Structure 1
């Protein structure tokens, strides 16, 4: 009885200090609501040793054994960190040592090192059971040097000239497809539709989109969306932006990648540059896919290590920013364990799941907040303070306001916000740690320790929520009436015995 009573008493206390009861609600699910975990299939997890063809873990240029089964086995691991989508490197059949997936030999077959079509379909199905989307990199610019088309005289007109005269030069020595050729165009469009129809995938990241004519992407986008209306198409362009004309939903924002890395690799990095360096009021900012590193770059962890910094701390601050500004975070696998590495292939080591959970736990927490608070994915953004390594900004959606404070300096910082910044006579409740900032004389004084971030939600002041107190009083009254009746019945039963 005592245990039940204590549990009952604690329930309203916990509810009172949870998220605000007037939290905003999201209607439907948009691209900007996603949080994407990007993994290289061969380097993530080996779940089926039966397909370990040509695997050599001593050679980073060879296959390492990751496969579809390995991803299926870790879907809960990915979802538990708050990710809503997974992005896979190309899964099509590749040339020898094409572990990365970009040397395509056959657009209609999964690579034998990764598993069967049946297993891939199971991967998509299992992801959907967990309300997760599956997106695949689609290579439309080139094929492998071992592709059979190169020796097919009937396919001679499928390629641009190797020397690039009057045409685009081959990229990285790979045979460059001529998408102006109707046969090439139809083949690629049909392949894209086939994978959607066969496996029910949810989107494509379009590799080297800037090297492919925009009118091809217009046709491609139109046909993909006929096949599946809610398909996501994201261009991975390395700088160019063709989606305005081509019907593509979003692009990776590479312009902010280097400023982010420079700002967060060490203390006192310039946060002002990353919170004011882009117009976050435009729709384009909300749809931008944002990255700190990827399969082509040096790992962000190396930036921190080169500055003699603890990578875990650097990652926490960087992720706090990445998850709370307008845009869609695309996090490369291994970031949750601060995986280190130089340029390819050293940046794509086999994943290690037996590591310190501190950073995993932090990513899980901010992922949870991003999924629960619509203001963090759809809210407008206003910078309230930005100086050197300290920044404070707010996100507002309907009746929900969150305030993000990041102290990327080597000493404690305090910032005072006024009624011009936030509605007065409320309080800021810290969600990453136990912190409370009450309005005093219409102002809020935020104090952060060195190298620390906090996400606050603006809420009514504690202790003054009269409707809440009345409802709790009614609940308590009903509970004690219930206890009284139980005790009365127990006494009566004892007397009768």
Structure 2
């Protein structure tokens, strides 16, 4: 037997002895994404030449964040595990429109943020890193001083100047002014054509991957039907995620009939903030919200889930108001966010426990010199979520809940994961019947090293106070006789090789 034959046999034997890995990963879809949400002006200043009118002491003024700053931080974002970014509007805004929601020109980039070419470069650099780009878009209103308001030929481009007085009247909601902002009349054919062409232009010009649609409920459904059809004629997999700020999921879900793919999940947000901002709160209503979402939405797996954003006080503020530790509370909330169904949307600064009250205090400038504890934890969660399809595509069932200790199981095809959250102030133990998890199985912890094997007919899972873990469900381990046998075979072959090599050496002598 020659040396060449032995060496060729070794890798084959090792390959067949090792455990079979997961099935080749399925094609990535939007429910597999993790989104990092950035307020452009408050993230990172990459170009000081556009810093005019910047006043860091004024929370309602520009603070210097720009497109170049985001481009410079794409590796930071990717290292956190994010696969998509959502940017607040970059269109040219009127003075003091640092947030981007007071449009002055629908076809130009706000000069404080940079140029169209810089934005194209940002999209290209993001795509080079396999990061998708979602742009915030407003078609409900313009800025307070838009040039159209003084154009005699465009007076019928706006609805009558009136506030929304009856929020239960859909007509009032769609035709009234939000915070006094001039309300566009989408029923005017010229307005409709302008907005649709504009939305398509940004896609073809910059190659963005999706729109986050602002103030969806303030625009008629028939317009969104046309909008969805038109933008997807440009890019078939273009993603639309809408903001329908309403507590009734049936109301929100009704906009899914227009072709909008996803919505930010405000009912879940409200419950998550309540549950995780302080200990000893039950998690049972979280499953109730999921069951409701399953019933009302065509695809609840693409709902955008979040624990803070630019319109509500920071999660950290809610925690501090209850005299709790933000790091501890964030870890629990983030575990649920990454482990439960939906697309996690992380507002910039959450990874450093950025504080902030009501708007505009919740839009503070990002800091990059911070304690890495939450950053490391979030990065680990992202890695786990990306490796296990059951965490993005699996069903969702609450197996146990008592006094803030909750055990959830997610299953997809032959894979199952278990998420355990102890949201209480004491060590808790949950007993789960083996039949709920599977026979001859064991649990292996991913956030903390734990191996849990069944005792009799059940699994006993214990977690210290205010901790969470995600477990894989594996075949019960023992000695891998196949692998051991292969190693023995390899050594025998190696011994034979040495024997024949020695014998050949003697014959030559």
With normalisation by structure 1, the TM-score equals 0.91
In the alignment, is the contact (CA less than 8 A) between 1:69 and 1:119 conserved in 2? yes
- Residue 5 of structure 2 corresponds to none
Mean Cα deviation higher: 285-294 or 146-155: 285-294
1:298-353 Cα offsets, whole Å, 9 max, x none, are: 00101111111110110000011111111111110000001000111111111111
In the alignment, is the contact (CA less than 8 A) between 1:243 and 1:249 conserved in 2? no
Q: Aligned match of 2:415 in 400, 411, 422?
A: 400
Cα 1:492–1:96, aligned 2, differ >3 Å: closer, same or farther?
farther
Answering whether residue 240 of structure 2 is matched by residue 207 of structure 1, we say no
In the alignment, is the contact (CA less than 8 A) between 1:24 and 1:397 conserved in 2? no
1:341-386 Cα offsets, whole Å, 9 max, x none, are: 0111111111111000000000001111111100000001111012
Answering whether residue 233 of structure 2 is matched by residue 218 of structure 1, we say no
- Residue 369 of structure 2 corresponds to 354
Q: How far apart, CA to CA, are the structure 2 residues paired with 1:483 and 1:368?
A: 42
Q: Aligned match of 2:463 in 448, 462, 471?
A: 448
Answering whether residue 31 of structure 2 is matched by residue 32 of structure 1, we say yes
1:10-409 mapped onto 2 (5 Å cutoff): 21-163=20-162, 168-239=175-246, 240-241=251-252, 242-279=254-291, 281-282=294-295, 283-409=298-424
Q: Aligned match of 1:418 in 433, 448, 462?
A: 433
> 1:27 offset after TM fit, Å?
2.3
> 1:295 offset after TM fit, Å?
0.5
> 1:419 offset after TM fit, Å?
2.7
In the alignment, is the contact (CA less than 8 A) between 2:282 and 2:401 conserved in 1? no
> 1:51 offset after TM fit, Å?
1.7
> 1:390 offset after TM fit, Å?
1.2
Q: How far apart, CA to CA, are the structure 1 residues paired with 2:500 and 2:41?
A: 68
Q: How far apart, CA to CA, are the structure 2 residues paired with 1:361 and 1:256?
A: 25
Q: How far apart, CA to CA, are the structure 2 residues paired with 1:173 and 1:332?
A: 27
Mean Cα deviation higher: 46-55 or 389-398: 46-55
> 1:479 offset after TM fit, Å?
6.5
**Which ranges in structure 1 are unaligned for 5 or more consecutive residues?**
1-7
- Residue 478 of structure 2 corresponds to 463
Q: How far apart, CA to CA, are the structure 1 residues paired with 2:307 and 2:503?
A: 68
In the alignment, is the contact (CA less than 8 A) between 1:32 and 1:378 conserved in 2? yes
1:56-93 Cα offsets, whole Å, 9 max, x none, are: 11211111111111111111111111111100000101
With normalisation by structure 2, the TM-score equals 0.89
Mean Cα deviation higher: 21-30 or 226-235: 21-30
Mean Cα deviation higher: 479-488 or 239-248: 479-488
Cα 1:350–1:187, aligned 2, differ >3 Å: closer, same or farther?
same
Cα 1:314–1:479, aligned 2, differ >3 Å: closer, same or farther?
farther
Cα 1:102–1:482, aligned 2, differ >3 Å: closer, same or farther?
farther
**Which ranges in structure 2 are unaligned for 5 or more consecutive residues?**
1-9, 165-170
Q: How far apart, CA to CA, are the structure 1 residues paired with 2:27 and 2:354?
A: 35
> 1:26 offset after TM fit, Å?
4.3
> 1:284 offset after TM fit, Å?
3.8
Q: How far apart, CA to CA, are the structure 1 residues paired with 2:52 and 2:434?
A: 64
> 1:155 offset after TM fit, Å?
0.6
1:19-75 Cα offsets, whole Å, 9 max, x none, are: x84535542222211111101011111111122121111211111111111111111
In the alignment, is the contact (CA less than 8 A) between 2:34 and 2:83 conserved in 1? yes
> 1:474 offset after TM fit, Å?
2.3
- Residue 6 of structure 2 corresponds to none
Cα 1:396–1:154, aligned 2, differ >3 Å: closer, same or farther?
same
> 1:212 offset after TM fit, Å?
0.3
Cα 1:487–1:131, aligned 2, differ >3 Å: closer, same or farther?
farther
Cα 1:491–1:349, aligned 2, differ >3 Å: closer, same or farther?
farther
> 1:485 offset after TM fit, Å?
5.7
Cα 1:418–1:190, aligned 2, differ >3 Å: closer, same or farther?
same
Cα 1:491–1:74, aligned 2, differ >3 Å: closer, same or farther?
farther
SS at match of 1:29: coil
- Residue 4 of structure 1 corresponds to none
**Structure holding more helix per residue:** 2
